[in-house]
Amino acid sequence: MKRRTQTLLVGAVPIVALAGVLSAPALSVPFAAQGPGPLFDVLSDVEGKSIIEVSGPSVDSKPSTGELDMTTVAVHHNLSLPQTIAMWLDSDNEIVPIEAVFPPGQSQEEVEEENKAAFTESEANATSAALAQLGLPTEVSVAYTVPGSNAEGKLHEGDVIISIDGIKATKPDAVKDHVQSLNPGDAVELKVRGEDAAKERTVAIELGENPHAKGAALLGIGMSTQSAGQTKVEYQLSGIGGPSAGLMLTLGVIDKLSPGDLTEGHHIAGTGTINAAGIVGEIGGIKHKISAARDSGAELFFVPAGNCVEALTADAGDMKLVRVRNVDDALAAIKNPGAAPSCS
């Protein structure tokens, strides 16, 4: 039986198993290869669907003339020894222990599930940061419930969480921070609004234990952020996980909900986590992402400030590496690329 390598597309950490490539009959070795992954222009379509779909009175119907590329890292695993050697000889790839892809004690399915949750949180934070930048109010909705959790059957996809234990929930962090302050077995009371916006209900849930963090409380839901008004933001990109798309998704939402062309015709790539306040956080695989963006012809690459030292070891070619700490830094760099601070 032939064995195939498997490829993951990652933002900051290994995420979702995709197609197998490079067949070989030998047993796999305990290593993986990391290299540049594909880029996705968040202002474009994938398989006929907009990566970011917006609707409502604030939508700018005029398409942008530039690009906002989110970058990924491709991780090949289940490699045979000859395949590992071949990838090691390719300067674009880096060979790492398999534990860097699947930490000890975690199955591939658990890693995929964990990083799916991270991407959902990244989308929620991108919406929060973008709407806050535009001065639009937000609310928290249930994206999914964790199978087998105490929330399953009590909360449903699309439910709006108004408050938790009397704490107003306008952003997922309000719910997350409160749950993290409690212990498994504690009970929380949520005020929730379902499909009928005129009806509210109270839901009591006993917190479980996070399977990935012993002693940490688990509510058992994934959360997203939406406008408290008529504006709606939805993300259509699948097969990617992890938190590092946050910054570029935020910029994409801002472009689609503000007048004019945010990109001003520039080809921009970048990476970075985002929180609800618009702060950009560091990620992994920065050198591979820079290589992919350089080869695509990007003019600017947004680098989280915490990644600048490592970014300077990559071959960026003529592409400018712009240091960003928050959304405001990125917006200022787009408006005036020449004055934008470089990694140094």
Q: Which structure tokens are listed for 260?
A: 């004019």
Quote the radius of gyration of the chain (alpha carbons, Å). Answer: 21
CA atoms of 248 and 237, how far apart (whole Å):
13
Q: Tell me if residue 58 is catalytic.
A: no
CA angle at 207 for the pair 204 and 210, rounded to the nearest 5° = 155
Q: Which of 244, 256, 291, 320 is catalytic?
A: 244
Q: Which of 116, 171, 256, 289 is catalytic?
A: 289
CA atoms of 273 and 54, how far apart (whole Å):
21
Q: Is the dihedral of CA 164, 168, 173, 178 positive or negative?
A: negative
Sheet containing strand 31-36, edge to edge, reads: 16-24, 3-10, 73-77, 31-36, 94-97
Which residues face 226 on adjacent strands? Answer: 139
Q: Is the dihedral of CA 234, 236, 241, 244 positive or negative?
A: negative
Q: Tell me if residue 199 is catalytic.
A: no
CA atoms of 337 and 189, how far apart (whole Å):
48
Within 10 A of 87 (CB to CB), how many other CB atoms are there? 21
CA atoms of 195 and 160, how far apart (whole Å):
9
Give the number of residues written for the chain. 344
Which residues face 140 on adjacent strands? Answer: 161, 225
> Annotated active-site positions, please?
244, 289
